[in-house]
Amino acid sequence: MTVLAKIVDFLNNIGIETSEGVVPDSSFLPGVRITSGQLVYDPASLTWPGDLLHEAGHIATVPSSLRSMLSDGVELPEPATYATEAEATAWAYAAVRHLQLDPAVLFHCGGYHGASDRLISTFSLGVYPGAFGLAQSGMTVVAEDTCAHGASVYPEMRQWLRS
């Protein structure tokens, strides 16, 4: 199974709808866009399959009542606490770990404003920007909460979609 097929299968199985379709060249990321809370991707122009995970992170971390309002630039009509770039990135990293993919699939050389190597290092060292927000949203548990919750800690997820 290709990396792209593995990612698409995972996303569809957790409830993030994906479909192949036309993605305009003006899209924020090559070959992928969000339309009404769903991911549309064009395999012919999708340069980095890991971009699907990052964009899915935006969909997953938004409260379910706002999810269908997400399109392209992921701006919402009302603020959503703990649904920022940091949480989307942390969610995507947890997905990479769950799928047993190399972190470079997500943190590829063409993204993250040239900080991909630093992000790989940061997450590999167990420093998880955005994990606190995921925990506050009930999606995971961070290390300091394990005694109270008795659960596995981030990067393992309790749930993939925010309620």
Q: Give the pLDDT band of residue 146 (cuts 50, 70, 90).
A: low
Share of the chain above pLDDT 70, in %: 95
Domain spans in the chain, listed from the N-terminal domain onward: 3-149
Edge-first strand order for the sheet with 18-20 is: 18-20, 38-41, 32-35
- Given a cut of 90, whether residue 144 has pLDDT beyond it is no
Residues 82-137 pLDDT 10s: 999 999 999 999 999 999 999 999 999 999 999 999 999 999 999 999 999 999 99
Q: Give the pLDDT band of residue 147 (cuts 50, 70, 90).
A: low
Q: How many degrees, rounded to 5, is the angle at CA 37 between CA 35 and CA 42?
A: 45
Which is more confidently placed, 72 or 2?
2
Looking at residue 150, its pLDDT comes to 62
Question: Amino acid letter at 124?
Answer: S
